[in-house]
Amino acid sequence: MRRAIVLLSGGLDSSTTLFLARQKGYKASCLIFDYGQRHKKEIISAKKIAVAAKCKYNIIKIKLPWKGSSLLDKKSKLPDRRNIKGIPSTYVPARNLIFLSFALSFAESQKAQAIFIGANQIDYSGYPDCRKEFYQALKNVIRKGTKTGVEGSSVEILTPLINKTKSGIIKLGMNLGVPYQLTWSCYQGGRFPCGECDSCKFRAKGFKEARLKDPISAFVRQ
């Protein structure tokens, strides 16, 4: 059986990606990152999703002491989408590159053939490390800079959601049986989703356009 490493954050995209990897016949192992984000809620959700998918998971704890993002600094105010110009303050410097470096090392050590990441460049906040160009460049780096790459059996980086709308991702996930009631998208770490941050708004937009009810909508903070 083919093996894959799946980056799992506990949100809509990564959870859908995990279930898609399983549907494609991969034996998936999940990497969940505790990188000093504003809250641990997404880590709890990621663990629940991995268990629901019957997949093993590892929690990787790393520290980014230089901050540089409102997702890393609780004293920083999360941006209002209406006032965002360019890349928002929720961008974490080189986050996906850091995560993928860990995943690549894990994949090579475990002889996994692929790494799945739920990156999306359609309904997203404009982060540069979510674009197709980034992953195309990274594939060349892997071919040139890893043992598997120079030996001709490079680990694949798979981004199956890269060109899908949020509504398309949700419809796909519903067909795959993704337990969206277990997912967490909100940048805030409160008891309920705030309904106001970028991530909450993209989630709400996706369910609305898919003409489906979000299973956690009743718990959005009023």
| CA–CA separation, 126 and 130 (whole Å) | 8
Beta pairing, strands 56-61 & 27-34 = parallel
Instruction: Pull the structure tokens for residue 43.
Output: 């880590």
**How would you class 58 by CB atoms within 10 Å of its CB: exposed for 0-12, middle for 13-18, buried for 19 or more?**
middle
Average pLDDT over residues 82-107: 91
pLDDT digits (tens, 9 = 90+) for 204-215: 999 999 999 999
Average pLDDT over residues 41-45: 96
DSSP 8-state class, residue 94? T
Q: How confident is residue 14, by pLDDT bands cut at 50, 70 and 90?
A: very high
Residue 83 pLDDT exceeds 70: no
pLDDT digits (tens, 9 = 90+) for 154-168: 999 999 999 999 999
Give one word for 25, left, alpha or beta, with left for phi > 0 and alpha for psi -120 to 50: left
Residue 82 pLDDT exceeds 80: no
CATH number at residue 53: 3.40.50.620
Domain of residue 194, residue span: 3-219
Average pLDDT over residues 107-115: 97
Into how many domains does the chain fold? 1
Asked whether the CA dihedral 214, 216, 221, 222 is positive or negative, the reply is positive
Residue 81 pLDDT exceeds 70: no
Residue 181 pLDDT exceeds 70: yes
pLDDT digits (tens, 9 = 90+) for 117-155: 999 999 888 899 999 999 999 999 999 999 999 999 899
| CA–CA separation, 109 and 103 (whole Å) | 10
Q: For residue 53, what pLDDT is reported?
A: 98
Calculate the CA 79 to chain-centre distance. 20
Instruction: Pull the structure tokens for residue 208.
Output: 């609305």
